[in-house]
Structure 1
Amino acid sequence: MAETTVAGLSLATVMAELAELDDPRARSVNEKHGDDHGVNLGKLRKLAKRLKTQQELARQLWDTDDTAARLLAILVCRPKSFERDELDSMLRQARVPKVHDWLVSYVAKKSPHTEELRLAWFTDPDPVVASAGWALTTDRVAKNPEGIDLAGLLDIIEAQMKDAPDRLQWAMNSCLARIGIDHAEHRARAIDIGERLRVLEDYPTPPNCTSPFAPVWIAEMVRRGHAT
């Protein structure tokens, strides 16, 4: 791909800036979470703010297959400019947790193809891809639940969450909690499923943070008045 200079910065220049931002201490911390980069995310966001939206540069950064570059690509891209198949391919390439999470949250959720991708990813045999489908489903549960079979989702969660791979399990658990928080008519069942499956019950939670254990999470959000 020909290197494009945009806003005075070429791809090579941006990659050099990312290399300068690499911090071995940050890399050590990130690697504990499966993220193979050493760039402080605050500094990455400052660089993105300076670059502003640059769709072609975003595509070039993504194609480097470098984690920090892909995170920057997500921050400077124009989410609505990606075609459906392009986003599907990017999601399947995004195996690093932070890249996967940001791609879903910052790009897929803002795409005109969100619902089509949600349905395709939700039933994908790859659990990492399926977790993206569940994340988009959780967003709909919270913001636009019309047409979503909440009882059916609880059936799937009840049957599959306990033995699901970690990232898919986390996404299912988030959906379980969201159903319990936002839909009072399903709250008792959501809490009951959480209590019986005990998924993430012992997850280490920092002080002043809410446990991801669904019954505790639901109860805390209801107490705070964030429930419907």
Structure 2
Amino acid sequence: MPAFLTSENAVDEIMAELAALADERILAVNQKHGDDHAVNLTKLRAISKRLKKQQELAVQLWKAGDSAARLLALLICRPKEFTRDELDTMLREAGTPKIQDWLLNYVVKKSKHVEELRTAWFEDPDPVFASAGWTLTADKIVKQPEDRDLPDLLDVIEAEMAGAPERLQWAMNSCLAQIGIENPELRGRALEIGERLEVLKDYPASPGCTSPYAPIWITEMVSRREG
């Protein structure tokens, strides 16, 4: 297949290639995490490197609706070419955690609309979309901590994180950890909240990976910086 596709059949050719790469064993593993793509992500990235950046093709692949096609679309798109409303619609169409994660990290964070979307999603009553706002807020805590009222954010985390739906809880927990890591004056309170709420305390961390349990996460990252 040529590296740069411009024919009307480009989407059909790529969809056929993705279908040929589909593996039921990969699908079974992904379904345990709420995802539904059956293509190995290393192979998907190899396709994206061959195709390079092609915005129109990315748009068409996204419209195809298939999860593997949408993940590929996020790899070959040009983030700055999406409008604010297009990105909002894409989040609402994302459907699975992996697509939402890639959309936020590979596209929205590189968009000129990131702050407007962060604010809107943060206040969204739907926990799936609110989780996107919290995820972008965690990123902002690291990059622009002066733009957030962090004590008030800790108040919300303290009051709501323990009872939040899973995806939102993970995003709020990330904010808690980043506040503790990046702000020595608030570290004690962040640790106390994490220890009292015990969110993700028993989550099994893979070998070599830091636990998502905020007190362990904060302590380990601060230790690495100071060491």
TM-score range, shorter chain: over 0.9
Within 5 Å, give how 1:36-47 maps onto structure 2. 36-47=36-47
> Which residue is equivalent to 2:124?
124
Match of residue 196 from structure 2: 196
Tell me the matched-pair count: 224
Name which of structure 1's ranges 201-210 and 93-102 shifts more when overlaid on structure 2.
Answer: 201-210
After superposition, the Cα gap between the structure-2 partners of 1:101 and 1:173, relative to the gap in structure 1 and judged at 3 Å, is: same
Q: Does 1:95 align with 2:95?
A: yes
Per-residue CA shift, 1:124-165, capped at 9, x if unaligned?
011000000001101110011222111111011001000000
Alpha-carbon distance in structure 2 between the residues aligned to 1:143 and 1:65? 33
1:71 corresponds to which residue? 71
* Residue in structure 1 matched with residue 225 of structure 2 by the alignment: 225
Q: Find the counterpart in structure 2 of residue 29 from structure 1.
A: 29
The separation in 2 between residues aligned to 1:226 and 1:97, in whole angstroms, is 34
Q: What letter corresponds to residue 20 of structure 2 in structure 1? A: E
Within the alignment, does 1:167 sit opposite 2:153 as a pair? no
Find runs of 4+ consecutive structure 1 residues off by over 6 angstroms: none
**Higher helix share goes to which structure?**
2
1:139 aligns with 2:106: no
Shift of residue 207 of structure 1? 2.1
> CA offset at residue 25 of structure 1?
1.3
5+ unaligned residues in a row in structure 1: which ranges? none
Distance verdict in 2 for CA 1:74–1:226, change over 3 Å: farther
Q: What does 1:100-119 correspond to in 2, within 5 Å?
A: 100-119=100-119
Question: Contact 1:181–1:226 at 8 Å: present in 2 too?
Answer: no
Q: Which amino acid aligns with 2:69?
A: A
Amino acid of the residue matched to residue 79 of structure 1? P
Query: Aligned partners of 1:71, 1:149: CA distance in 2, in Å?
Result: 34
2:183 matched residue in structure 1: 183
Cα deviation, residue 226, structure 1:
7.0
CA distance in 1, matches of 2:7, 2:53: 10
Between 1:18-27 and 1:8-17, the stretch displaced more is 8-17
Where do 1:146-161 residues align within 5 Å?
146-161=146-161
- Partner residue, 2:205: 205
Query: 2:101 & 2:7 partners in 1: Cα distance?
Result: 28
Aligned to 2:145, the other structure's residue is in SS state coil
Distance 1:218 1:211 in 2: 10
2:12 alignment counterpart: 12
Structure 2 gap segments, 5+ residues each: none
* Cα deviation, residue 24, structure 1: 1.3
For the residue of structure 2 that corresponds to 1:224, the secondary structure is helix
Alpha-carbon RMSD across the aligned residues, in angstroms, is 1.6
Structure 1 residue 9, shift from structure 2 partner? 6.7
Deviations 1:19-77 (A, max 9, x none): 11111111111111111111000000000000000100111011111100000000000
Indicate if the aligned counterparts of 1:6 and 1:54 stay in contact, CA closer than 8 A.
no
Q: TM-score, normalized by length of structure 2?
A: 0.95
CA-to-aligned-CA distance 1:154-210 (integer Å, 9 cap, x gap): 011001000000000000000100010011111000000000100000101122211
For the residue of structure 2 that corresponds to 1:181, the secondary structure is helix
Opposite residue 30 of structure 1, the aligned amino acid is: N
